[in-house]
Structure 1
Amino acid sequence: MTVSLAAHAAAHPRAALQDRYAAVRAHTLSLAAPLSEEDQCVQPMPDASPTKWHLAHTSWFFEAVVLCEHAKGYEPFDARFFHLFNSYYESLGPRHPRPQRGLLTRPSLAQVHRYRAHVDAAMARFIETATGPEWDAAAPLMELGLNHEQQHQELVLTDILYTLGCNPLLPAYRAGEAPPLRLASGPSTAGWIDMQGDVARIGHAGEGFAFDNETPRHEVLLQPFRIADRLVTCGEFAEFIADGGYEKPSLWLSDGWAAVQANGWRHPLYWIAPDDPRAPAPHWQVFGLDGVRPLDAEAPVTHLSYYEAAAYAEWAGARLPTEFEWEAASAAPGMHQLTGHAWQWTRSSYDPYPGFRPWAGAVAEYNGKFMVGQLVLRGSSSATPAGHERATYRNFFPPAARWQFSGIRLAKDAAC
């Protein structure tokens, strides 16, 4: 493990770790609570896993990575679950195919809850009693497991939104109650922050938790650039649509234009056009976790692919920032909506930092094996759990992904 991860785990005494473990695990259950059993078993596309699978997989992680490896005498809840709920860890054995997770009607949701309770009880005993090398080896893995579960908490919301969005009834995630995901508006008029060219220090440093892909900290030479002080709004993106943005191949990357044509994209995911039969009124609507609502022109636009973000930037006479520009600018005065609103596409490929080394053991597969064909997003979204964001966080998705809470921050070369 990296020094930063081990040091962060060592800084948390047992009682604090037990409290944090209990809080994170309880929050996952609270996110699933508004859903029916049927809701939690559906998988409308390979990239969106059922809620029930998320509940089981996050328990599998603690069982497979911590308990089976480090807790003496631990008895697995059900050895078959190692196959069912392994995500992508080749070193930990074969897996049920990802596109078929929605076929797992068994085990039942009730049994998955019993599985979570079994793992939680074993983890409580381990945190209380583990000593010496056993504790030293497991403590950083437990901290990783909690951050891993927080990632899946966001996925529970993004995946169930996609699931409910496929339902012709367009049901709200919490009927009659808007979840606390309202986006704060930025300045009414976007401004530009000028950043001088310089050598920037990029990547995680210090004792706080970080994933391995955020390290090592290194120097990057940046040319002078300008970056928008807020995110692109729904109203601004609607102007792009009205100007024929989805109909002009000159604005699009080649693969992006092919995606537009193949998928019939004409607006962001979850937008409902005025002429859509599902529209409750003759103007733009947006489906979200709180159901169908009128489009909020001042809210940041979300659920865009990288291709759509890049096309909008081209239309606006700008570009997307690199991930290094974004991180350097995150400390600049006057920047708004950095976190808690939308993951922000950058034009940077998801590559290893110079000197990158993955963690040791099974968790070596956590990030490094995906460093091909993906783009980096920075910030965090309205669905990101509190405390799970930082300026060095590197999220990543393929360029066509649009079911995430992903949006746009523009940049320009200094001469533009």
Structure 2
Amino acid sequence: MSLRFRSVALAGLLLSTGSAAAQTPAPPVDTAAFARCMAGIRADAAKAGIPAAAFDRLADVTPDMSVLPLLDSQPEFTTPLWDYLAGLVDDERVADGRAKLAEHRALLDRVAAQYGVDAETVVAVWGVESDYGRISGKRPLRVSLATLACNGRRQPFFRGEFLALLKLMHDGDLRDPDTTGSWAGAFGHTQFMPSTYARIAVDFDGDGRRDLVDSIPDALASTANYLKQSGWRTGQPWGYEIRLPTGFDTAQAGRTNRKTVADWTTRGVTRLDGGALPSGDTRAAVIVPTGAKGPAFMVFRNYDAIYSYNAAESYALAIATLADRLRGGSGPMTAWPTDDPGLSRAQRRELQTLMLARGHAIGEVDGMIGTESRRAIQSEQRRIGLSPDDGRAGARILDALKAGR
């Protein structure tokens, strides 16, 4: 899955910001070009074991060109980290995650015994990817992937995903041809891409079918299997928040710049909470995702396994932070380097309620900051005199409106 074009359905919805990409008009459909493309894929489908009749039935779709502007608007790469984490790792998601841990304890213990991945990490992936199965994407997968297979950037990649999807449907893993997911083709409780589904998914409930859409056992076990296949090391931490020495050279930081813990210790790096670091010969990296003034972390092999699920620093930190909080931790202790912190979902709903009270037609109070909410925020920022008037949902505009400004 470790590709930039894998989309996190939940993050995309919660962190929708009315970006330029979201407002870019979709290009027109070139029906003839799409038909030629599908004819070429039809030949590849036969080689993949999809009979012509099955392909003709499953690939009979009309392209949805509205997915193309989304290629460059993934929230992991376009949203400030403090906003990203505030919405994905909030008190609500922690409470819900702890409830899921209790509800599925026996299942998660069996998953941990077979794959060696702790329950909190598996549930954290579930929570970030789909809010524990509540939000998994509403776009028809066949339509989105057929469109991307024939239009825009990375057509070869999406062609492979489209064929993998059709094969899953033809083979019976997916029984509903109208299965929905994210705009880029990720779907199910933990948002697998079709090719990853074909390679990694497991039948953990024993019904003879790998079902990551309707089977929680299959979805959670498949997630653990993915992390195991990505190099997860049982019983080891993903990382720790650390204190950097004065004058630390941030050029030494970066997930791929590995040194031994002994080397980092010699350079003056220590755990922020005063605890002990792993043995000195353990290899680790130091990351400073928002610069030297923000939180810093020492990360190990399990962080890389999480990162491989969706190759973005913000995503990996969201999973790791939520897992820590599910274990009873508090998340990063160092403040993010901003004077306008991000908002939790409850705070975003509060902000939307205040906007409605001021006469802004933003639609439903749902904690999802879309185009209309952004326009309303921008209008209030200008009225109050807050700069920048960028329509961002942050603590400054919420505090100002709560104070009656």
TM-score by length of 2: 0.25
- Structure with the bigger percentage of helix: 2
- Structure with the bigger percentage of strand: 1
TM-score by length of 1: 0.25
